[in-house]
Structure 1
Amino acid sequence: METLMTAPAVIHHLQFANLPNGMRLHYASAGESGKPLLLFVHGFPEFWYAWEHQLAEFGQTHFAVAPDLRGFNLSGKPADVEAYRPRHIVEDLVQLVRVLGYTRCVIVAHDWGGAVCWNLALQYPDLVERLVIVNAPHPYLFARALAADPAQQKASAYMNWLRKPGAEQALAASDFALLEKMLTGEADQAPAWFGGETRARYRAAWSQPGDDGSHALTGGVNYYRASPMHPPAPGEAAPDLSRLDPAAFVVRVPTLVIWGEQDRALPKSLVDGLGDFVPDLRLERIPEGSHWVVHEQPERINLLIRSALP
């Protein structure tokens, strides 16, 4: 299958949705409202612009929408850590779909966006026509790995560091040096995709203050502070998963999972057994792709997304 050979769709941003729950979400879009809705959901430390290539492509055939999640860039940034519990992020997306005038959509999500949208698909299967996940583990499999797999606990140790007070200041120090390192890895030279205008846009997004004048990065870091998903801290017992019913975590929507296998924080072992929780599953592995495979190979990602559309 080839991508369309027409001109890329024009991306419009500085659009805002005022949700019934009081949250104000900024979003970018391409294509015409009324066409099938394709919702793109970013992760940390990103914002809507992570989906630039996807909006340009899918705006040709869909109403393609990429919000800034609460706590990021131009969307509302509540001060309370409790405001970043997963249920609130799910509620934002459900209400956004409805405010946009839709009852169903295809969802494409990465990283934290994927974590949220696994839960959305579990709770609102009638809203999700298709689910496309990029490098975001299924919640039950991730919880099991964090509780019992020493390799995963080591790979996810950064989550406990991000939960600590002052993490946002450390990430922003020296002109966002640590935050950029999260995106670019250990290489001396930044990857080709993270240069020029893209780097400037990310820095601008990371500089947007909170609603109450709080640190610009606090909202994003609060996802880690509010989440029950993290490895046990030193001296802390692993969570008891015996009370969780695996049957409650079965996703009943057609799902494509794309996995960059060079992900250092989320190893490919996290997709082992995924078919037990997603009966209608297609898994596409990208052996050379990192956690940021959406940026590294946008055309390939677009082809895979299009192949999953109804």
Structure 2
Amino acid sequence: MLFIHGFPEFWYSWRYQIKEFSSDYWCVALDMRGYADSDKPKGVSPYEVEKLSDDIKSVIKGLGREKCILICHDWGAVIGWHFIGENMHMVEKYVMMGAPSAKAWRKIMMSSEFLDQFKKSWYIFYFQMPRLPEFTISLNDFAVFKAIGSGKFSDTFTEEDLEAYKYTFSKPGALTGPVNYYRANLSPFKKMKSSKPAAFAPGLYLLGEKDLYISKATGALLQDEFNNLDFEIVKDANHFLQQDAPQKTNALIRKFLER
């Protein structure tokens, strides 16, 4: 079971899932390139989604496996959708959370949902600027990370968890790689590729009911694009659903895996 985190996260965002599933599966949670103690290539182009997808492929092979159960959140899901489009033969089942595929993103931005989604994701365009996003994120002792634990189930994100995030992202250069994901892939001049194999493994798309960043309309668009895909709303959960509502999220994942 391979876990791919999003922004602004690192492997630790999967602590509740690792605890839940490690007795039944070999669980591996990555720090993606540019994050935490992983390599941080200079420049923007090393963070293109195609290269990030290749990292996943290399990890699976490096672990001596041919297939995995892929669990992805946020930017991890953006990369994950691309990965399964190119490497479906390496995926037994998959769970994506809180982010659509490139194709679904383009469709929603050209639909009647455009204004709603634009209001939710305005920061993407702000993140195209040099240096300023990194500075803003670090303001007020990295207060932005408090948003992860701002949901109804805020007791699942403790002061110790907050300190772990602050420690990880306060290291020199720790924010530039993560922000470069946006610069490399979501510039108005960049069009992410999407591909479609003949058939897909069983999949599950989860979205928090209180997600402030992603429209619920992405669910139907993804089900049109990916056959054999279930879509579930996690009641009362915010965007960081695997941390905000871990029990509900884990239950949905387990139900999906055991069917």
Correspondent of 1:288 among 222, 236, 240? 236
Are positions 1:151 and 2:116 aligned together? yes
Match of residue 145 from structure 2: 180
Q: Is the 8 A contact 1:58 1:64 kept in 2?
A: yes
Separation in 2, partners of 1:197, 1:247: 41
Two-structure CA RMSD over aligned residues (Å)? 2.5
Deviations 1:45-66 (A, max 9, x none): 0000000011112110111000
Name stretches of at least 5 consecutive residues in structure 2 with no aligned partner: none
Match of residue 226 from structure 2: 278
Structure 1 residues 288 and 56, CA gap change in structure 2 (3 angstroms): same
Structure 1 residues 180 and 288, CA gap change in structure 2 (3 angstroms): same
Q: Is the 8 A contact 1:39 1:106 kept in 2?
A: yes
Q: Is the 8 A contact 1:155 1:266 kept in 2?
A: yes
Question: How far did 1:181 drift?
Answer: 4.8
Are positions 1:218 and 2:184 aligned together? no
Q: Is the 8 A contact 2:145 2:165 kept in 1?
A: no
Q: Name the amino acid aligned to 1:172.
A: S
Separation in 1, partners of 2:11, 2:244: 17
Are positions 1:88 and 2:51 aligned together? yes
Q: Is the 8 A contact 2:205 2:229 kept in 1?
A: yes
Question: How far did 1:79 drift?
Answer: 1.3
Match of residue 139 from structure 1: 102
Structure of larger gyration radius: 1
Q: Is the 8 A contact 1:250 1:278 kept in 2?
A: no
Match of residue 164 from structure 1: 129
Are positions 1:100 and 2:66 aligned together? no
Q: Is the 8 A contact 1:251 1:277 kept in 2?
A: no
Q: Is the 8 A contact 1:74 1:208 kept in 2?
A: no
Range 96-105 or range 193-202, more displaced: 193-202
- SS of alignment partner, residue 226 of structure 1: helix
Kindly indicate which of the two structures has a greater share of residues assigned to strand. Answer: 1
Separation in 2, partners of 1:114, 1:41: 8
Deviations 1:241-292 (A, max 9, x none): 9xx8x87487622101111121111021121232211110111112322101
Deviations 1:207-240 (A, max 9, x none): 233xxxxx2200100000001x36x6xxx9xx99
Q: Name the amino acid aligned to 1:114.
A: A
Structure 1 runs of 4+ aligned residues shifted over 6 Å read: none
Name stretches of at least 5 consecutive residues in structure 1 with no aligned partner: 1-37, 210-214
- SS of alignment partner, residue 42 of structure 2: coil
Question: How far did 1:309 drift?
Answer: 2.1
Match of residue 202 from structure 1: 165
Match of residue 21 from structure 1: none
Question: How far did 1:182 drift?
Answer: 4.2
* Relative contact order higher in (CA < 8 Å, ≥ 6 apart): 2
Q: Is the 8 A contact 1:261 1:267 kept in 2?
A: no
Q: Is the 8 A contact 1:40 1:67 kept in 2?
A: yes
Structure 1 residues 268 and 190, CA gap change in structure 2 (3 angstroms): closer
Range 156-165 or range 39-48, more displaced: 156-165
Under a length normalisation based on structure 2, what TM-score does the superposition of the two structures give?
0.90
Q: Name the amino acid aligned to 2:119.
A: K
Kindly indicate which of the two structures has a greater share of residues assigned to helix. Answer: 2
Match of residue 52 from structure 1: 15
